[in-house]
A and B are shown apart, each in its own frame.
Chain A
Amino acid sequence: MNPPDALLAVEVRGLVRSYRRGFLGRAHVALHGLDLAIASGECVGLVGPNGSGKSTLLRVLAAIDEPDSGQVRVFGADPDARAARLATGFCPEDSPYPTDLRARDVLALLGSLRRMERAVCERRAAELLERVGLAHVARERLGAFSRGMLRRFCIAAALLHEPKLLLLDEPTAGLDAPGFAAIESLLDEARARGTTLVISSHLLSDLHQRCERLVALVDGRIVAQGDALALAASLGSAARLELCFEGLDADSIAELRRVAEARGARLVGVQPAQSNLVELYRRNAAARKP
C-alpha cells in the first residue's frame, strides 16, 4: 500500500526519459512511464541489470536530468527547485568532482554552494573524511585518488549537508572491505536520523539487509517490488537464499546440509563473509602498530 502523499519523499508518476546516442543517433528510451512512491524515512533498493534505468532514475531525482514527460516530486517539490536540491544528496556511479582540486577544497566548495556555514562545513568535512578513511589525503588532489578512494569521497560529499534524501548509485562498487564497513556505518547513522535512502545496485546482496523494499527494474520498467524475501518467493523453487552464520564448524555445516536436503532444498555453497576480511585487516593493522 502506498503511503499518504504528505509523507512521501519521492513521488514519480508516468516518468519517461530518453537519451540520444550521438548527434544523429536514434533516441533510446531509458525509462518507460515509471510509477514509484517512496515514503519519508524509507530505504529502497533499486535492482536490475546494466541498462535497466536505475542510474537514470536517480539522476532524474537528483535534478541532473529532466524527465521527457511524467511527474516527479521530491518532498512535494520539483526536483529542480532549490528546496528539493538542498534536501537531496547524490552519489553518482563515477566521481564527477574536479580532479584538479584537493579533497577538502571540493567539500568546502560543495558546502558553500549548499549554503552551509563555513565552520559547520569544515567540521563536518573533517569528520566525514575521517570516517571514510581519507583524512590523511584530505590535502591531496582528487586526480591522485584510486577508484575506491573516489567512491568513498563521493559518499562523503553526498552526506556533507546531511540531506533528507540520499541517492546512492552503486555505492559499494570498487570498495575494499574497510571502505565497505565505513560506508555501512555512515548509512546506518543516516537511517537513524530519518534519512530516506534510495540505493541502486545490480548486486542483491548489497541491498537486501538494508532495504525495506526492493524495486526490480528491467528495460526501464518496474517488474517487481517488495521485500527481499517476497522478491525471492516470486521466483518459486528457483529462488536462492543466503543465510549468515557465526561460530559454525564443519560438522554443523554438514548437519545444516542434511536438514536442508530433508526439506527438499539444497545447500549450494559455503563461503566466508565479507566481514571476515574487515577483521583480518583490522588485526593486521593493529599488529603493525608499534
Chain B
Amino acid sequence: MNVRLAALALRRVAPWWLALALMLVGVLAASSASSSEPAASALARQGVWSVLALLATLTFVPRAAGLAARFSSLEFGWVGAQPVSRARWFGACLAGSVTATLAVCALAAALAESAARFDGAALREVGLAAVPERGVLDGREPVRWSIDASADETLRVELLFVGIEPTAEVEWRARRGVEERSVRATLSRPQALELAVPPGIGTVELELERTSGGALVLLSGERLQRLTPCESSRSASLALACHALLAWTALMALALGLAPWIGTRLAAALALVATLAAWLPGDTFAADVSPVGVLVRALDVAGRGLVPGVPSLAELACTALCALAGLALFVRGLGHRRGGA
C-alpha cells in the first residue's frame, strides 16, 4: 500500500469541518446528560453515537465516491500512467478512507463517554436465541421453548403489555436437569425480564407464564438476548466503534467501486440505499449480517443500557465481501476508462 496515496485519500475524504461538528455534538451531549443513572447514560451514549453515525455516513460515503470518480475522470491523466496496480490503488484509497472513519470513531467514543456519566458494571450481549412464534401469555398455557446457553449467562426477554386490566403477574422459569431458576414480575407497562441461566450443561428449558391478572402479555421481538457480565458499561462505545468502522468500510468500498462507472452522486446514493435494508422489519439477515444493520441494532442495544456484542464472523465476512466487490468494480472501472468506443 502506498502511504502517500492513502494520505491523499484521507485528506480528501475527511472534511475539516467534521471535527468541529463532532465537538459541537459532544458539547451538547455533555451539557444535556446531567444524571449518572444507567438509563440516562445509556440514552446519552446512544444519542451521541446515533447522530455521529448518521453524520459520518452521509459525509464519508459521498466523499469516498468522489475520490474514486476524481481519479477515474479529471485526474486519470496522471493516475493511469503510474506504475501501480489498480488493486493497490483501491487499497490505498480504502485505507485512507477507513483511517478517516477510525479517527471519527475514536472521537465519537470519547464524546459519547463524556456524555454518559455512569461507568458501572453492565451486561454484554453475546448472542440471540429464537423465541416461540406465538408468544402470547393469556393465563391458559405457559409459553415453552428451549435454548443452548452457558452457566454464566443471563437471559433477557422484552414483554409487551396490553392493558385490559391494570396489571399482570408473570413468572419466567429456566430448568437444566435438576437445577432451576425463576423470576417473577408484576407488569403494568412494557418491561424486560432477566433470568440467570441454571448451572450445568445441556439444553435449557424455558417456561414463561402469566400467573395472575387479566391483561394480555406478549413476547416482544423475535429473539431472546443472551448476556454475560461486563466490568464497565463504557465498553459499549468500543463495541459501537467496531460496528461503525465495519459499516463505513463496507459502504465506502462499494462507493469507491461504483464511482468510476456511474459517477459520484449515483454511486453514493446506491451505496446508501443498501443501508435501508437495516430498517426492514423482521429481516433478521440484515440485522445479523449486514454491517449497517448490525450497527443499527447495536445502537438500539446500547440505548437499553446493555453493551453490544463484538462483531460476528458473519458481519466480518459481509464487510470483506463488500470490500472485494468494491475492489472488483474499481479495478474494472479504471480499466474500462482506458478502453475505447
Report A's interface with B, CB cutoff 8 A.
Answer: 17-20, 27-28, 62-68, 82, 85-86, 88, 90, 92, 94, 96-98, 100-101, 108-110, 112-115, 157
Do B75 and A65 touch across chains, with their CB atoms under 8 A apart?
Answer: no
Decide if B164 is an interface residue (CB 8 Å cutoff).
no
Q: Which residues of A contact B339 (CB under 8 A)?
A: 66
**What 20 additional pairs, Cβ within 8 angstroms, besides A64-B76, A97-B78?**
A17-B340, A18-B341, A27-B340, A62-B80, A64-B81, A64-B338, A66-B340, A67-B340, A68-B341, A85-B83, A96-B74, A96-B79, A98-B75, A108-B4, A112-B2, A112-B4, A113-B2, A113-B83, A113-B84, A157-B78
Report how far A113 CA is from B84 CA in the complex, Å. Answer: 6
Q: Tell me which of A27, A62, A98, A110 has the highest count of chain B C-beta atoms within 10 A of its own C-beta.
A: A98
Report how far A118 CA is from B190 CA in the complex, Å. Answer: 65
Do A90 and B81 touch across chains, with their CB atoms under 8 A apart?
Answer: yes
Partner of B76, one of A96, A110, A114: A96
Q: Which residues of B contact A88 (CB under 8 A)?
A: 81
30 contacts between A and B (CB under 8 A): A18-B341, A20-B340, A27-B340, A63-B80, A63-B81, A63-B338, A64-B81, A64-B338, A66-B335, A66-B338, A68-B341, A85-B81, A85-B82, A86-B83, A88-B81, A90-B81, A92-B77, A96-B75, A96-B77, A96-B79, A98-B75, A100-B12, A110-B82, A112-B4, A113-B82, A113-B83, A114-B82, A114-B83, A115-B83, A157-B78
Report how far A98 CA is from B74 CA in the complex, Å. Answer: 9
Q: A114 to chain B: closest CB distance in Å?
A: 6
Q: Which residues of A contact B78 (CB under 8 A)?
A: 92, 96-97, 110, 157
Report how far A101 CA is from B80 CA in the complex, Å. Answer: 18
Report how far A27 CA is from B77 CA in the complex, Å. Answer: 21
Interface residues on B, range: 20 to 34
Minimal Cβ-Cβ distance residue in A for B12: A100
Query: Known contacts being A28-B341, A98-B8, is A64 close to B77, with CB within 8 Å?
Result: yes
Decide if B5 is an interface residue (CB 8 Å cutoff).
yes
Do A112 and B3 touch across chains, with their CB atoms under 8 A apart?
Answer: yes
Q: Which residues of B contact A82 (CB under 8 A)?
A: 83, 85
Query: Known contacts being A27-B341, A28-B341, is A109 close to B81, with CB within 8 Å?
Result: no
Minimal Cβ-Cβ distance residue in B for A26: B341
Q: Which residues of A contact B11 (CB under 8 A)?
A: 100
Do B341 and A19 touch across chains, with their CB atoms under 8 A apart?
Answer: yes
Closest 5 CB pairs of A and B: A96-B77, A27-B341, A85-B83, A20-B341, A64-B80
Do A65 and B340 touch across chains, with their CB atoms under 8 A apart?
Answer: yes
Q: B63 to chain A: closest CB distance in Å?
A: 13
Q: Which residues of B contact A96 (CB under 8 A)?
A: 74-79
Q: Tell me which of B11, B12, B75, B77 has the highest count of chain A C-beta atoms within 10 A of its own C-beta.
A: B77
Chain B 1-44, CB-CB to A under 8 Å as 1, else 0, gives 01111001001100000000000000000000000000000000
Report how far A100 CA is from B77 CA in the complex, Å. Answer: 16
Report B's interface with A, CB cutoff 8 A.
Answer: 2-5, 8, 11-12, 74-85, 335, 338-341
Do B8 and A109 touch across chains, with their CB atoms under 8 A apart?
Answer: yes
Partner of B340, one of A19, A86, A97, A108: A19
Report how far A18 CA is from B338 CA in the complex, Å. Answer: 11
Minimal Cβ-Cβ distance residue in A for B336: A66
Q: Which residues of B contact A114 (CB under 8 A)?
A: 82-83
Report how far A17 CA is from B339 CA in the complex, Å. Answer: 9
Q: Which residues of B contact A18 (CB under 8 A)?
A: 340-341
Do A109 and B83 touch across chains, with their CB atoms under 8 A apart?
Answer: no
Q: Which residues of A contact B79 (CB under 8 A)?
A: 96
Partner of A62, one of B81, B85, B335: B81
Report how far A105 CA is from B340 CA in the complex, Å. Answer: 32
Q: A121 to chain B: closest CB distance in Å?
A: 10
Q: Which residues of B contact A92 (CB under 8 A)?
A: 77-78
Q: Tell me which of B12, B80, B338, B340 has the highest count of chain A C-beta atoms within 10 A of its own C-beta.
A: B340
Q: B92 to chain A: closest CB distance in Å?
A: 10
Q: Which residues of B contact A64 (CB under 8 A)?
A: 76-77, 80-81, 338
Q: B202 to chain A: closest CB distance in Å?
A: 60
Minimal Cβ-Cβ distance residue in A for B83: A85
Report how far A82 CA is from B84 CA in the complex, Å. Answer: 7
Report how far A100 CA is from B81 CA in the complex, Å. Answer: 20
Q: B13 to chain A: closest CB distance in Å?
A: 12
Minimal Cβ-Cβ distance residue in A for B77: A96
Q: Which residues of B contact A112 (CB under 8 A)?
A: 2-5
Do A101 and B340 touch across chains, with their CB atoms under 8 A apart?
Answer: no
Minimal Cβ-Cβ distance residue in A for B335: A66
Q: Which residues of A contact B4 (CB under 8 A)?
A: 108-109, 112-113
Report how far A85 CA is from B74 CA in the complex, Å. Answer: 20
Do A97 and B341 touch across chains, with their CB atoms under 8 A apart?
Answer: no
Report how far A115 CA is from B83 CA in the complex, Å. Answer: 9
Q: A31 to chain B: closest CB distance in Å?
A: 10
Q: Which residues of B contact A85 (CB under 8 A)?
A: 81-83
Q: Which residues of B contact A27 (CB under 8 A)?
A: 340-341
Q: A27 to chain B: closest CB distance in Å?
A: 3
Report how far A113 CA is from B83 CA in the complex, Å. Answer: 7
Minimal Cβ-Cβ distance residue in A for B85: A82
